[in-house]
Amino acid sequence: ARDTTERKINEQVLKSTMLQLERSNRELQDFASIASHDLQEPLRAIQAFGDRLQSRHGSQLDEQGHDYLSRVIRASDRMRSLIQDLLAYSRVTTKTLPFTTVELDTVTHAVLTDLSVRVEESGGRVEVGELPTLEADALQMRQLLQNLIANGLKFHRDGEPPLVKVYAREPDQEVPDESVAWTQLVVEDNGIGLDLKFAERIFSPFERLHTKNKYAGTGIGLAICRKIVERHGGTIVVESIPGQGSKFLVTLPVQQPEMAFEELAPHGV
């Protein structure tokens, strides 16, 4: 009787937790909707009038006027990128797909097709080793690999064509649950590297170690990567030496616990 009572209590606690999670996700979805519509509407007006001012009255502006106008246009472009990336960050947990069997070889080659122009423009190359098949959200795996590979292409050393290597290996660290099989994805580059005192900071939203003039972007990419990895029950860390490149280690379960297939979070916008 005591076991039955405890089980009922645990079921009630679980049900309450799930309801709280659903409520939190609905609130997050509402926020995402505001970010994509209400915040972007005045921004579109700023951009439209800025473009109109430049095209219709640009000849009447002096050098300082042109400078002010170009700053307005650049700032509005950056704000648009920030809003879009904020929306992408919120959707990692609200716009999800059920876990299915995913061939990372196939996903990675699709990513390289998307990044082909960037690879060509950088003069670099991406080498892909044998990658495993695992249970995951296919779209999020694609986003994860695209962010990490694009990162390696972006932060290259001056005069040194970027080289990004993508491969898998046995985890070289303790895993959260030894009852399931794990794999470790490695995305390694020969870029500028980073001081390991920033190894945690780079995974925070909108954190940048470099000025936006030197490297474009909003600083959300690695934060999205961490969100994706955590949703899959894994970990992501970086190993790096300044001036000698970085190595991102993504440790993931090959099979998800049964609970992962029960989508606790409702599908978002």
CATH of the domain at 229: 3.30.565.10
Contact 231, 92 (CB under 8 A): yes
Contact 206, 72 (CB under 8 A): no
What pLDDT does 267 receive? 38
Average pLDDT over residues 202-223: 67
**pLDDT tens digits along 126-151:** 999 999 999 999 999 999 999 999 98
Model confidence at 172, pLDDT cuts 50, 70, 90, reads: confident
pTM, two decimal places: 0.69
What pLDDT does 247 receive? 93
Looking at the structure, do residues 217 and 104 belong to the same domain, yes or no?
A: yes
Whether 56 maps to a domain, the answer reads yes
Whether 268 maps to a domain, the answer reads no
Looking at the structure, do residues 114 and 222 belong to the same domain, yes or no?
A: yes
Secondary structure class of 160 (helix, strand, coil): coil
Q: Give CA 85 to chain center in angstroms.
A: 9
What pLDDT does 182 receive? 92
Cα–Cα distance measured from residue 191 to residue 155, given in angstroms and rounded to the nearest whole number? 6
Range of the domain at 207: 100-260
What pLDDT does 130 receive? 92
- Please count the structural domains in the chain: 2
Least confident range from 109-123, 131-145, 186-200: namely: 186-200
DSSP string, 190-229: -S----GGGTTGGGSTT--SS-TTTS-S-S-HHHHHHHHH
